[in-house]
Structure 1
Amino acid sequence: MSSLLDAATRYVRPDHRMVGIADAVAATAQESVVPGEDFLGVNPNEILIATGQDGMDVHLRLEAWDGPPPPPRDHELSETTGIDLPTGQVCIDLTLRGWIPEVLELPPGHYQARITAWDRTRIKDLYWEVGSRTGFDPGNTEFAALRAGSHGHQRYLVQLWKLGDINPEPAQPEEPEAEDTMGTTTAPAPRRRSATRPQQPLPAPPPSLDDMLERERKHPRQ
């Protein structure tokens, strides 16, 4: 049976309905694949999670295990994927809001990550139901009470366990110089390394909370 090695819990505010976990090296990445309509946006050193709604804090728990943990119960959604942690310093990515560094410190390596969600859809549906009725007015008592009472109700659990070390990219063997028929040598043509991971296009991010509120005011739901 697997054992829990370490854990950390944070209440964080998603941005553009996303929050991520990443190795420290991902802070220097130029692009990230975002979830779009999916639950997860998987990058080599980062996983972005699509939350149900932003504008309120979510409960995010990170766990490190020595093997596959038991599956969580009564969840709404759960997916498992891989992630490389070259430094082992696990950070929380708040997209445009910045980073929370070194939430966990693990041995570097290739890990499995299981991400599980609770109350993701319930909070989103409740938010739109009350918001549509109240005009998404922050000064409305019912809408303000919903936002205040929903902080931390969306829950996300990230469980990590190591599969192995990260294999370095093998060095390309040098080709010997070829001798032509005239007795001179010619240098070999340069070799081009293939990328270890395919480049993926960056989808457009989901609309922000402010964008949704403005759109709802201009075009209220019937």
Structure 2
Amino acid sequence: MARLIRGLDNTVLVEFGELAIFFERNDGDILLESTGDGDLAHIRLEAWDAPPPEPDTSWTLVENTTIEGGTGFVTVGSVAEDATERFVIGPPHFLYGLTAHTQPAGELPESGPEEELEEAYDSREPERWLIRFWPLKDAFDPARHARPDHVKLPAADGRTLSPDEAEGEAARPSLLDGVEQRPLPVEVPVSDAADWPASRITPEQAAWEERRAQRITPPTSPTTDLTTDFATVFMAAEGLPPDTPFDRFVAALRQRRLAEVAERDGWPDWWRELAQRYPDLGPQWLPISHEAVHWPAERRHDLARALVARLRVSTILNPGGARTFTADIRTSTPRTGDTCRGWRWEGPGAPDGESLTVDRHVVYEDVMSGTTLVTGIVTILWRDEEGYHVRDAEPVEAARLLCAEAAWAASAQSDPGALPSQG
């Protein structure tokens, strides 16, 4: 049975009757025709581990396709407007199934007094979208997905692409046509989606799913043998449908308890207003209040949105709560979720193997200072004024980087201009 890994609800402004699904580091964006033009639309994004069941008949299917998922991060929005926050559909460089369903906005009266028309427009149900993703197979190719910074690709007009330009262009197989290629001297690892952190649920969601599957006797039951599932009883008590997904359950619960928690923890009014819009923000007041009180008033909304997005993504990429640390990252365009080599100067007496434990190498020992330069394979979780916050890479992540290092190193020794492929 297919399992919902995560979901995200957002509202975006539709312009020119089009929405687009943008895939990070993949030019294969998908356009969706919308009835809106200057109207808000509710967007529901869902990541599943297998093809999901069909939604109810109120939804109309408008897209059913497969596509390479790039880094595994997507956004949805109009080209000219802000998109949804970045959503993790699963592991990077997999082929994905995708469906998009829609529900039209509420109808408007054709004529009437201006005030009534405006009231009808403001109160009508917005257009809704349900966009779902699920992994099909590993599509990693070091020739297209792990090109070293110093290797340049030619553009169609003959000039040399910058790293930023080539980042998207390298995902187009057509650009490799006509370029000398040869089989990889190493085997390309093939992974299962379930092996990746982005395909796992958090311990909190796992406990919730286990709890809602339990059978219990409702307090109002006249007999002890009349049982029902926990979800039906508990969700009904919270005023929620029994099939409410975990992300919506948590958001609803935090909204219901917002006033109580705000009073208990002493939230200022402006934080309460932000927490009403971003339910995940509320629990962060105590840990970061010493910083948040200094947020400029005009930037509070942007800073809150960025903080919530960072917390959500770092939890997805590190569901087991592995130790995090800062490291120097030397690649030209590092982004959250990338796996690469991290570098650190470790002081004298630093515990050996505390960080940078995956493919760890001691590069240099400075005798005079007693410090040691070490490197290891890490995955980037977020970046702030302290630098890149990372964790040690997991086996499937490290395997891809080691494959790319071996492939490109061998290629450079043989022919610096050759592009390796999967043969």
Report the TM-score, using the length of structure 1 for normalisation: 0.57
User: Is the alpha carbon distance of 1:145 and 1:91 closer, same or farther for their aligned partners in structure 2, counting shifts above 3 Å?
Assistant: same
1:48-127 residue pairs with structure 2 within 5 A?
A: 48-78=31-61, 79-104=63-88, 106-108=90-92, 109-119=94-104, 123=106, 126-127=107-108
User: Is the alpha carbon distance of 1:153 and 1:98 closer, same or farther for their aligned partners in structure 2, counting shifts above 3 Å?
Assistant: closer
Task: Indicate the structure whose relative CO is greater, using CA pairs within 8 Å and at least 6 residues apart.
Answer: 1
Rounded to whole Å, the distance in 1 between the matches of 2:7 and 2:173 is 37
Deviation at 1:8, TM superposition (A): 0.3
Question: What SS does the aligned partner of 1:107 have?
Answer: coil
Give yes or no for contact 2:100–2:129 (8 Å, CA) kept in 1.
yes
Question: What SS does the aligned partner of 1:96 have?
Answer: coil
Give yes or no for contact 1:47–1:83 (8 Å, CA) kept in 2.
no
| Deviations, residues 183-205 of structure 1 (Å, cap 9, x unaligned) | xxxxxxxxxx9828xxxxxxxxx
Deviation at 1:53, TM superposition (A): 2.2
Deviation at 1:7, TM superposition (A): 0.5
Question: What SS does the aligned partner of 1:25 have?
Answer: coil
Q: Which runs of 5+ in 2 are unaligned?
A: 145-171, 176-423
Give yes or no for contact 1:92–1:103 (8 Å, CA) kept in 2.
no
Give yes or no for contact 2:18–2:33 (8 Å, CA) kept in 1.
yes
Deviation at 1:19, TM superposition (A): 1.6
Rounded to whole Å, the distance in 2 between the matches of 1:170 and 1:11 is 37
Rounded to whole Å, the distance in 1 between the matches of 2:96 and 2:89 is 13
The alignment status of 1:161 with 2:126, answered yes or no, reads no
User: Is the alpha carbon distance of 1:53 and 1:93 closer, same or farther for their aligned partners in structure 2, counting shifts above 3 Å?
Assistant: closer
One-letter amino acid matched to 1:91: T
Greater displacement, 62-71 / 86-95: 86-95
1:3 equivalent in structure 2: 3
Q: Which runs of 5+ in 1 are unaligned?
A: 30-43, 172-192, 197-222
User: Is the alpha carbon distance of 1:68 and 1:13 closer, same or farther for their aligned partners in structure 2, counting shifts above 3 Å?
Assistant: same
2:174 equivalent in structure 1: 195
User: Is the alpha carbon distance of 1:66 and 1:105 closer, same or farther for their aligned partners in structure 2, counting shifts above 3 Å?
Assistant: closer
User: Is the alpha carbon distance of 1:195 and 1:8 closer, same or farther for their aligned partners in structure 2, counting shifts above 3 Å?
Assistant: same
Rounded to whole Å, the distance in 2 between the matches of 1:149 and 1:115 is 25
Rounded to whole Å, the distance in 1 between the matches of 2:136 and 2:129 is 22
User: Is the alpha carbon distance of 1:84 and 1:194 closer, same or farther for their aligned partners in structure 2, counting shifts above 3 Å?
Assistant: closer
Give yes or no for contact 1:24–1:101 (8 Å, CA) kept in 2.
no
Give yes or no for contact 1:117–1:157 (8 Å, CA) kept in 2.
yes
Question: What SS does the aligned partner of 1:99 have?
Answer: coil
Rounded to whole Å, the distance in 2 between the matches of 1:55 and 1:118 is 17
One-letter amino acid matched to 2:47: A
Q: Choose 1 or 2 for highest CA Rg.
A: 2
One-letter amino acid matched to 1:96: A
Deviation at 1:94, TM superposition (A): 2.1
Aligned length: 147
2:25 equivalent in structure 1: 25
1:39 equivalent in structure 2: none
Greater helix proportion? 2
Deviation at 1:159, TM superposition (A): 0.9
Aligned-pair identity in percent equals 24
